[in-house]
Structure 1
Amino acid sequence: MAIELYNKNGHVCLMFTHLSDEGGEAVQANQFLVIDEQQGAIIDPGGNMAYNELLLTIGRYFPPNKLTEILASHADPDIIASLDRWMTSTQATLYISKLWERFAPHFCKPGKTAGRIVGIPDPGMRIPLGRSEIVALPAHFMHSEGNFQFWDPVSRILFSGDLGVSLGTSAEAGQPITSLAPHLPRMEAFHRRYMVSQKVLRLWTNMARTLPIAMIVPQHGAPMVGDAIPEFLGWIGDLSCGIDHLSQANYTVPR
């Protein structure tokens, strides 16, 4: 079952929250589908445990063999470990940071990705989709060295990858966050460890505030809407994290 984030005038954004190993060994993860008329892009399609059900579920809304883009925020297994199977079942092109374009083929059988990977340059790029486009926004070091978020100018949804994560169950991921404070216990430890530095978060926040954002949807956990968006921008821009907390004590030989 998909959660409909947006549906107007032939432009549809869908979220899938329930395809990972619920209650098992794997972290909950979201996958996304953006459709504009006859073209479709899947964002962060996930690992092998998500593939079968995601393929079947997508087929209720859009023919999977007509997907034109696979958009990967970075190269972690929960993002694109299923790449080999998507390269087989579709003719889609993978868009991923140029830092990872020669690493992504390691998920696939030899030759499967030949001519089908576009390396996104560090400043980002605009990726055509139907009558519109998806904007790849630089989000480097949040948490990956080569990292992108994907902003849809039609729905004004920001698919934010690992930024904005709230750890919980699939059911909780399907309930939008309208007020940030009650969810900070599920967010703070993750962001303090996985984000690299306050400087990076502050620079990202300056960029984000230039965009009209109706919803922030992370790869783990629930979407943020309404007041939660400016509250999140205010919180994340001032968060000390990552290397801000390191000292020589973190780099000593184990006893």
Structure 2
Amino acid sequence: MSKTTSYTLFDNGEHKCIVFTSLVKGEGVQANQFLIVNGQDGAIIDPGGDLTYTPLTMELFKYIRLDNIRYVFGSHQDPDIITSMPRWLMHTKAKIVASRLWARFLPHLNSAFTMDKMEGEWFERLIELPDEGLSLPLGQSELFSIPAHFLHSVGNFQFYDPISKVLFSGDLGASLSGDPQTPVQNFQAHIPHMKSFHQRYMCSNRVLRYWVDMVKDMDIEMIVPQHGAPFAGRESIEQLLDWLWDLPCGVDIMDKNIFRCPEKIATMG
């Protein structure tokens, strides 16, 4: 890949948003990781797993000291989102921010060594997000967790930065090919890169419409998904919202014929 591993979404001198786009090597699905810095304080969004931990920390040193990372946000529980959590707990003082629905599952990611080292500190380091979300202070600013449940996880959040006006949208808006550093220019041409993923991974059109109704009134200048290209400017964002509003997906289109008892089982006995 000829482009650099990271690029700056926003920088006003005091507040920065950085995207890391090409840390996944080999057969892993391309994934974006995010750093937000306000003053000396930083937050990481969807840092990934062991595959990305070492290259991500090496990149982070260009922008922030690990001791200044206050939060590690996980939009949901997938391996490419948060399975590096034990390393962040061991090597930073950051708190883990995730849905309350996953709070009791996340300790399963920790090794016995990690749990022994933490000596019961785990739940003091976890911020459980209620279904409606909340805001958390970062330096002189704050970050908002935005509900996106069932898009695609049962406990799913997106994260909104009010200074850059960027919505970090997780898997919603994701594309599985194309350049993750170049905003979508031709929306119609981009649809084939998104459609099959959204139709299988998003729960239903009903939930998509709940989300669109919420987001259309937010002051957003860019939507940046965890995979693929961002959507920059109101025209591109509104095209995405219009497309999602009409998209049948998940249980809307699931074929009941898939749910068939295998013939061998049906005829046993």
Give the corresponding residue for 1:212: 219
CA distance in structure 1 between the partners assigned to 2:177 and 2:91 by the alignment: 31
Equivalent in 136, 142, 146 of residue 127 of structure 1: 136
- Structure 1 residue 247 displacement after superposition: 4.1
The question of 1:7 aligning with 2:37 is answered no
- Summarize the alignment of residues 134-153 of structure 1 with structure 2, pairs less than 5 Å apart: 134-153=143-162
- Count, aligned residues: 251
- Summarize the alignment of residues 17-56 of structure 1 with structure 2, pairs less than 5 Å apart: 17-21=21-25, 24-56=26-58
Aligned partner letter, 2:184: I
Identity of aligned residues (%): 45
Summarize deviations over 1:140-168 as a string: whole Å, max 9, x none. 00000000000000000000000000112
The question of 1:155 aligning with 2:159 is answered no
CA distance in structure 2 between the partners assigned to 1:254 and 1:241 by the alignment: 26
Aligned partner letter, 2:24: S
Shifted more, 109-118 versus 68-77: the winner is 109-118
Summarize deviations over 1:27-77 as a string: whole Å, max 9, x none. 000000000001100000001111111001011111122100001100111
Three-state SS of the structure 1 residue aligned to 2:108 is: helix
Give the corresponding residue for 1:236: 244
Give structure 2 stretches of 5+ with no counterpart.
Answer: 264-269
Aligned partner letter, 1:162: D
Give structure 1 stretches of 5+ with no counterpart.
Answer: none
Three-state SS of the structure 2 residue aligned to 1:102 is: coil
CA distance in structure 2 between the partners assigned to 1:19 and 1:217 by the alignment: 17
Aligned partner letter, 1:228: S
Higher helix share: 2
CA distance in structure 2 between the partners assigned to 1:36 and 1:18 by the alignment: 24
Aligned partner letter, 1:61: Y
Give the corresponding residue for 1:201: 208
Give the corresponding residue for 2:93: 91
Three-state SS of the structure 1 residue aligned to 2:34 is: strand
Summarize deviations over 1:105-150 as a string: whole Å, max 9, x none. 1111325424100110000001111111110000000000000000
Three-state SS of the structure 2 residue aligned to 1:184 is: helix
Give the corresponding residue for 1:253: 261
Aligned partner letter, 2:115: P
Give the corresponding residue for 1:168: 177
Higher CA-based Rg? 2
CA distance in structure 1 between the partners assigned to 2:262 and 2:148 by the alignment: 33
- Structure 1 residue 248 displacement after superposition: 2.7
CA distance in structure 1 between the partners assigned to 2:261 and 2:64 by the alignment: 53
Three-state SS of the structure 1 residue aligned to 2:101 is: coil
Give the corresponding residue for 2:84: 82
Three-state SS of the structure 2 residue aligned to 1:122 is: coil
CA distance in structure 2 between the partners assigned to 1:89 and 1:131 by the alignment: 25
Provide the TM-score with structure 2 as the length reference: 0.91
CA distance in structure 1 between the partners assigned to 2:188 and 2:157 by the alignment: 26
The alignment yields a C-alpha RMSD, in angstroms, of: 1.1
CA distance in structure 1 between the partners assigned to 2:134 and 2:24 by the alignment: 30
Shifted more, 8-17 versus 101-110: the winner is 101-110
CA distance in structure 1 between the partners assigned to 2:35 and 2:259 by the alignment: 42
